Chain A
Amino acid sequence: MAAIAVSGLSKTYPVAVKEPGWKGTISHFFQRRYRLVQAVKEVSFRVEPGEIVGFLGPNGAGKTTTLKMLTGLIHPSAGEVNVVGYEPFQRQPEFLQAITLVMGQKQQLLWDLPALDSLKINAAVYGLTDKEARSRIGELSEMLAVEKQLTQPVRKLSLGERMKAELLAALLHRPKVLFLDEPTLGLDINAQMAVREFLRDYNERYRATVILTSHYMADITALAERVLLIYQGGLIYDGNLDGLLVRFAPYREIKLELARDGRERDLSERELSERVLSSYGEVRSLDGCSVRLLVQREQLTQVVARLLADFDVVDLTVTDPPVEEAIGRVFQTGAVA
């Protein structure tokens, strides 16, 4: 049985519309006008137990709304959701015992008390014995390397330490399904890596199912083999990351190192970029003699041959463009439409 099964899931909600200024305020006071926003449109997918799935999309695409429906926080307008055998919105205790939602920008720990106090409440809520709670806190705090921080008031912790403590609180009851909404938001690179490693360990150790949204592509590439791409409320891709790039970012990146005494030495960078190199592909950057070009996959061989014939090339490498850039281009250019 799938850990998560979603079929035709939609969410529409009304948003008040108000014109600016006095006139708008007065007419809004007497007559409220609303427009309906379809935040999620007929989304369907399945996630198997133990899978880690990256949930990608630009701001406002419907990722968080979908997560809220999957966790039972909000009621779907249409469609069916089943998470570990339960309909989330019924909020049955067995369902709540089996899931967790971590929101990078929200906290559940009591701000003025040490995290251990909040963990004491969580342990009681989830019916853990003192022994179980101690053992799990010990295990998770070791995995997250926050043993010493748990006795300090939460407000005194750094952002990274606080996020780790939040993760610990969210996972104390050993949930089978983890919904992670931007779990590394605002963390420095070391903390991001630590959180990723912890999530990977947790997934391996407990075969937990994970749905992860993040604006840091490194989170997705490090953890998820499969990605769901949501755009303007609709699911437009469900598959592995490589397939996503082939489908939505059908170009490759050529890095060129030109000889310093080549024929282009008399040209300014702008002239070189606009007059010469742009005829080979899209110039992404030009720094002295180093050039990054984006070229359509089907034209790659031909462009490389032309570049080698036309320039004095010291070095040339062909790679996939960075994933962040590729996904960013997909959303910016509306290539998915």
Chain B
Amino acid sequence: MRQLWRKISAFLSVYYAYMVEYRAELLFWVLSGAFPFILMGIWIEAARTTDVGLTPVEFARYFLAAFLARQFSVVWVIWDFEREVVEGRLSPRLLQPIDPVWHHAAGHVSERLARVPFILAIAAFVFLIYPEAAWLPSVGNVLGFAIAAIAAFALRFLVQYTFAMFAFWTERASAIDQFWFLFYTFLSGLIAPLEVFPPLVRAIALWTPFPYLIHIPASLLVGLPVNVGQAVLVMGGWGLVFGLANRWLWRQGLKQYSGMGA
């Protein structure tokens, strides 16, 4: 246990230092996730003129929460892993008695910590320009959001890392994630809360992993109703499916690996 903690501590402290080296770049990455704010404007305007299920203030809060959920679940492991396989940079990592995923996971978690000040600054700025949306969520809501956001990040990371395994065969595995991103954009709650979806679409969507990546954490933060039992079941189920697939693909992929360029 002590050894494990030493590893976690060493990885996080070093990768945090690494991420802080790129702080200027980090600001642009945070700003590039401002898509929910564009949709916030559109939905607020729609809610002012017609009944679309939520009030303008609820839309503002939802999209701010969606922005936060997105910030905490951003994942890029597939691009890093693909490059490692194609350029043979996976080789030095395979020679160490630790799964290479440690490096990627530590990079992502550390980046999250380095990102927090920028995220808070942007949230404060939104409250400043739209003060009606300002609210103080309850401790329970914040806790629920934190747990859901961590679970969303873990699931998104696992899914993308599983797709990344195809780099052993196709070398351009990121194309698979791009295809997945199409469904993610529509069903995750990024462009609209699930409340405005037709009931059948909403019911189907809730059995896919997508709403649990944005919509559920955001709903927990703003206080929209959430079926927690279903959320645990669906996320756990998809986590298990992708987890098993990941390990199988990893073992098969290593047999394909040629250590190109190294």
Contacts and interface: CB of A to CB of B under 8 A. Distances in A.
Given A96-B97, A100-B95, A118 B14 contact: yes
Contacts of A100: 95
A122 B98 CA distance: 10
Contact of B257 (A73, A110, A123): A73
A112 B21 contact: yes
Given A124-B10, A125-B98, A113 B262 contact: no
Interface centre among B91, B95, B96, B262 (most CB of A within 10 A): B95
Given A13-B258, A106-B92, A113 B97 contact: no
A93 interface: yes
Interface in B8-54: 9-11, 13-14, 17-18, 21-22
B7 A108 contact: no
Interface in B94-144: 94-98
B97 A112 contact: no
Contacts of A123: 10
Interface string A116-132: 01101111111100000
Contacts, number: 74
Nearest to B94: A73
Q: Interface centre among A71, A110, A118, A121, by most B CB within 10 Å?
A: A121
A101 interface: yes
A73 B10 contact: no
Contacts of B22: 112
A97 interface: yes
B91 A73 contact: yes
B3 A74 contact: no
B88 interface: yes
B202 interface: no
B259 interface: yes
Contacts of B95: 71-73, 96, 99-101
Contacts of B257: 73-74
A120 B96 contact: no
B97 A126 contact: yes
A106 B10 contact: no
A75 interface: yes
A91 interface: yes
A113 B258 contact: no
Interface of B: 3, 6-7, 9-11, 13-14, 17-18, 21-22, 88-89, 91-98, 254-255, 257-259, 261-262
14 contacts: A13-B258, A73-B94, A93-B97, A103-B91, A103-B262, A105-B262, A108-B92, A110-B14, A112-B21, A112-B22, A121-B10, A124-B7, A125-B96, A126-B96
